[in-house]
Chains A and B, each alone.
Chain A
Amino acid sequence: MNWRAQAMSTFLLGLVRLLTGAQARWYGCPPKAEQRIYFANHQSHADLVLIWAALPQELRSITRPIAARDYWTASNFKRWITTEVFNAVYVEREKKGDEDPLQPLIDALESGDSLILFPEGTRGHAEDPQAFKSGIYNLARRFPHVVLVPAWIHNVQRVMPKGEVIPVPVLCSVTFGEPVALGADEARADFLQRARSAVMALREV
């Protein structure tokens, strides 16, 4: 990381903590430097920043968030901040040609990084998260040794609702739950349903 990215990272961390507290609650597992996929509910663009800020420093450097290419590369600043500060992995939201949209994620997992994933694919506006897309199932099949950690992000939509530019201070937290393992012959739909309820169960703890 160059000094500009370093400064930006420090500034962002300070800002996020001042506005939201960015409290991590390790409810079902300890923060541990093993290869993991954190998957969480998605209600705001700030989700990515919040979960990044909630991780401890040691884990933050080995954990890469997934960012939608069309949104996060729309301007030079967004592209710079996602590559240099968050070290994000870009994915295409729409499938182009016969290229596997999961390929960048597979590359990242093969090189040993942990990932932050929003399996709903897009931001939801309802109370409950939308149905999960199957990407997380495919990754779990392919990388059985990677630990799947569900997370629930509280309150972020209140910090900056859609269409607003100024964030307001509201305490937010990220609750990390007990890891979910894919059964040897578990069907795709069952697993996705189970993963979604694991995330939703964390809302109440």
Chain B
Amino acid sequence: MGSFLRSLSPEQQVSLMFVLLFGLLLIASGAGVLLSLRERQHADDHTGDRAQRLHDYQALLRNSWLMTLVFWVGWAAGESVAIVLFGLVSFFILREFISLSPTRRGDHRSLVLAFFIVLPLQYALVWNQHFNLFTVFIPVYVFLAIPVVSALGNDPQRFLERNAKLQWGIMVCVYGMSHVPALLLLNFPRFAGKTAFLVLFLVLVVQTCMLVQHLVARRLRDPVAPAISASFHWRSWLAGLAAGGLLGVALAGLTPFKPLQALAMALVACVAGSFGHLVMKAIKRDRGVTHWGSAGRSVTGASGLLDRVDALCFAAPVFFHSVRWTFNL
């Protein structure tokens, strides 16, 4: 099996991965259709719980199809399209973040700056591989530019609070997210054409960690910080890390890492991602909502895009920089 994989060209390896992914999704969707047929037969016994679980499953499946399609399009159409796609994701999650952070009229120009200048510039820097500028552009230059524009708006009320919120939004939604496509452009020796695996490694490891953490937490009581998250326990957190780390080791063959390096990188990404998710939960609690996204939907329980990618936003920069130092890229 291993020698067969190694005999393939990088292109073929990536294609094989997508064939496998789409195959798995097809099987899962088929199972979903069968389950929904069974649901019809049992329509008379009113078990809302089952229907709810089926509903969740279908939502998860739709989401996975979408994510896989996006990745496939991103890979098939090349790095530039992938960068544009991640830029769009940034745009949508920043929109969700801003919608739930009350701004005043004086912030309008800062918002224009954030959405239409900072966001495209950050992705343009990724595109042009200006890695040095890309890592300092937002923390150094935009950090100053946003409050300056706000101050010129002539509104001192809750000034620090408003600007802090906007800067947070930009850091998480633009800066964090832009590190995912930046992985595609890292120049590993003898790894050309396969950096898509690095993105896949990060996404799979972090999402697996979050999923396992969520599943294990269902069985536990007494969360660490009940006012912030009812599902954060040290035990479930460790279980998530273990799952993420093991998956990292299993996927080491796809990456330029040796197994131990892969374990370390996976753990770094999982720690950053899971804590980032907890921090975003605290922000949601402060705003009095359970999910990002538009007001109407959060009531029905479906969630926003930011809920699904927030762990990634925190994990990506940490992962990116850890990889860069470790390999001196």
The residues of A with any CB-CB pair to B shorter than 8 Å are 21, 23, 25, 154-155, 158, 161, 164, 166, 168-171, 173, 175
B116 and A170 contact, CB distance less than 8 A: no
A170: contacting residue among B98, B296, B297, CB under 8 A: B98
| Contact present for A161 and B99 (CB under 8 Å) | no
Contact present for A171 and B112 (CB under 8 Å) = no
Within 91-110 of B, Cβ neighbours of A (below 8 Å) are at 91, 94-96, 98-99, 103, 105, 108
Closest A residue, CB atoms, query B111: A168
**Cβ contact within 8 Å between A168 and B294:** no
* Count, chain B residues at interface, CB 8 A: 18
State whether the Cβ of B115 lies closer than 8 Å to any Cβ in chain A.
Answer: yes
A175 to B115, CA, bound (A): 27
Looking at the assembled complex, report how far the CB atom of A167 sits from the nearest CB atom of chain B, in whole angstroms. 9
Q: Which residues of B contact A (CB under 8 A)?
A: 91, 94-96, 98-99, 103, 105, 108, 111-112, 115-116, 293-297
Residues of chain A with a CB closer than 8 A to B95's CB: 21, 169-171
Report B-chain residues with C-beta under 8 Å of the C-beta of A155.
99
CB contact under 8 A between A158 and B103, given known A168-B111, A169-B115: yes
Q: Which one of A25, A154, A158, A166 contacts B112 once the chains associate, using CB atoms below 8 Å?
A: A166
Alpha-carbon distance between A155 and B296 when the two chains are bound, in angstroms: 13
A168-B112, A169-B91 as given contacts; A161 in contact with B105, CB under 8 Å: yes
- Are the C-beta atoms of B296 and A168 separated by less than 8 Å? no
A171 to B24, CA, bound (A): 35
Q: A46: shortest Cβ distance to chain B, in Å?
A: 13
Which of B96, B111, B116, B294 contacts A23, CB < 8 Å? B294
Binding site secondary structure of chain B: helix
- How far is A158 from B105 in the complex, measured between Cα atoms in Å? 7
Given that A169-B91, A171-B95 are known contacts, is A154 also in contact with B115, CB under 8 Å in the complex? no
Chain B neighbourhood of A168, CB < 8 A:
98, 108, 111-112, 115
In the complex, what residue of chain A is closest to B109 when comparing beta carbons? A164
Nearest opposing residue in chain B for A24, CB measure: B296
Q: Is the CB of B115 within 8 A of A171?
A: no
The answer to whether B91 and A154 have CB atoms under 8 Å apart is: no
A171 near B96: Cβ-Cβ < 8 Å: yes
Most chain B CB atoms below 10 A, which of A23, A166, A168: A168
Q: How far is the CB of A191 from chain B (nearest CB, A)?
A: 28
Give the most central of A21, A23, A161, A171: most B CB within 10 Å. A171
CA distance A25 to B299 in the complex (A): 11
A170 and B99 within 8 A (CB): yes
Contacts of B108 in A (CB 8 A): 161, 164, 168
User: Known: A164-B108, A169-B91. Is A175-B296 also a contact (CB below 8 A)?
Assistant: yes
6 closest A-B pairs by CB: A171-B99, A168-B111, A25-B296, A169-B95, A161-B105, A171-B294
Known: A161-B108, A169-B98, A170-B98. A21 touches B115 (CB 8 A): no
Query: What are 14 A-to-B residue pairs whose CB atoms are below 8 Å?
Result: A21-B95, A23-B296, A25-B295, A25-B296, A161-B105, A164-B108, A168-B98, A168-B108, A168-B111, A168-B115, A169-B95, A169-B115, A170-B95, A171-B293
Instruction: Enumerate chain B residues within 8 angstroms of A173, measured Cβ to Cβ.
Output: 294-296
Q: A23-B296, A168-B108, A169-B91 are in contact. List 10 more A-B contacts (CB 8 A).
A: A23-B297, A25-B295, A166-B116, A168-B98, A168-B112, A168-B115, A169-B94, A170-B95, A171-B95, A175-B296
A164 to B293, CA, bound (A): 25
Q: Name A165's closest neighbour in chain B (CB-CB).
A: B112
CB contacts (< 8 Å) of B103 on chain A: these are: 158
Q: Which residues of B contact A25 (CB under 8 A)?
A: 295-296
Structural contact, B294 and A21, CB atoms closer than 8 A: yes
Which residue on A lies nearest to B101, using beta carbons?
A: A170
How distant is B121 from chain A, measured CB to nearest CB, in Å?
A: 16
> In the complex, A21 Cα to B295 Cα: how many Å?
11
B50 to chain A, nearest CB (A): 27
